[in-house]
Amino acid sequence: METRQQVPSCPGGTLYTIRAGDTFFSLAARFNTSVDAIIEANPNVNPDALAIGQQICIPVPPIPGPCPGGTIYTIRAGDTLFALANRFNTTVNAILDANPGLDPENLQVGRRICIPVPPVPGPCPGGTIYTIRAGDTLFALANRFNTTVNAILDANPGLDPENLQVGRRICIPVPPSPPTCPGSTYTIRAGDTLFGIAQRLGFTLQALLASNPGIDPNRLRVGQVICLPPAPNGPVPCPGGSIYVVRAGDTMVGIANRFGLTLRQLLAANPQISDPDVITIGQRICIPGGARSCADENYAGNISYPPMMCPFAPYCFMFFRPF
């Protein structure tokens, strides 16, 4: 005896007759609803064993909650919250907040959700409102806008630098004012260290630290402006001696050795130097009388070499030049 299929109840929905190739997934996409909604409307139907000619209920699409100022969007195949946040200039968290219970790992094709208006950043006097894009980092933004990571964080309380939301609008503050420096200034770039800056520009690390009290050499920020030590160029008393101009790489110990002096002798001739570890390029120091160095092009004295016998001339002056 042939049994007759019971026609399901489908208030407000559509009765649909299964055809070859139909699946709940394809039907949800076609009728702008969700797989879960079809399953709930057909509790006695096995979605994995649909029979051609079988009648099922296609329910009305689920209605999202209130979405003031936002956009009602219907999920399509391939959608992700990340892609939607990027497309609608908002954030994943904002979409989740506007759609309680939405599972970002299991978006149902046909489900209608609320895409909220983009979050509004706080006040940003004199700065720039910037919308986070895929791949952005605070380090890269600080470098691009000539500011610092800390300045961006201060202007955006609660911003997580390790979890920037695509579409979120943030405040890029105006670049910090450079400090007042008696000498010139330098703007920190990616990869800079104080030691590297000092070495590259011909200062000692101690001199650079002395010109920037309170600076943390282990936490330099891209865009940070630091002071460079001025090169002392005032008159240096040096009775009976000669003036030497400090060059890149010089140290007081090295200069003393070059001129055959002890560090104590060199410091005695230069009482204006309180710290032998802090000298700068262009600084003038006194070389006391009697010191000699033929290798130093900055030494102003006249140097003559005594004649010497050399059976290997002309190679003598290459290997046996007296210093």
| pLDDT confidence band for 69 (50 / 70 / 90) | confident
Q: What b/e readout covers 155-188, taking b as 16+ CB neighbours within 10 angstroms? A: bbeebeeeebbbbbbbbbbebeeeeebeeeebeb
pTM over 0.75: no
The larger pLDDT score, comparing residue 53 to residue 126, is at 53
Most confident of 35-39, 183-187, 198-202, 292-296: 35-39
Return d(Cα 270, Cα 236) in angstroms, integer: 8
| Cα 141 from chain centre | 6
Level-2 CATH architecture, domain 71-115: Roll (3.10)
Are 267 and 276 within 8 A, CB to CB?
yes
Query: In the structure, what pLDDT confidence band is assigned to residue 171 with cuts at 50, 70 and 90?
Result: very high
Cα→Cα distances 236→40, 90, 206, Å: 94, 65, 22
Domains 128-172 and 231-323 share a fold: yes
Distances 91 to 98, 164, 172, 193, 199 between C-alpha atoms, Å: 11, 9, 18, 36, 45
Q: Which CATH superfamily is domain 231-323 in?
A: LysM domain (3.10.350.10)
Q: Which residues pair with 57 in a beta bridge?
A: 15
Taking the domain 128-172, which CATH number applies? 3.10.350.10
Distance CA 58, CA 116 (A): 28
Q: Domain 185-227 falls in which CATH fold?
A: Membrane-bound Lytic Murein Transglycosylase D; Chain A (3.10.350)
Residue with tokens 């030497």: 244
**Token digits for 210?**
């002395």
- Average pLDDT in the 81-102 region? 85
Task: Tell me how crowded residue 110 is: count the other CB atoms within 10 A of its CB.
Answer: 24
Q: Could you report the per-residue pLDDT of 281-323, keeping only the tens digit for each?
A: 778 899 998 766 644 444 444 333 333 344 444 433 333 333 3
Taking the C-alpha atoms of residue 289 and residue 265, their distance in angstroms, rounded to an integer, is: 11
Average pLDDT estimate for 251-270: 93
**In sequence order, what are the residues at sequence separation of 6 or more whose Cβ sits closer than 8 angstroms to the Cβ of residue 131?**
89, 118, 167, 168, 169
Question: Does CATH number 3.50.50.60 belong to domain 14-58?
Answer: no
Q: Where are the domains of the chain?
A: 14-58, 71-115, 128-172, 185-227, 231-323
| The dihedral formed by the CA atoms of 257, 263, 269 and 270, expressed in degrees to the nearest 10 | 110
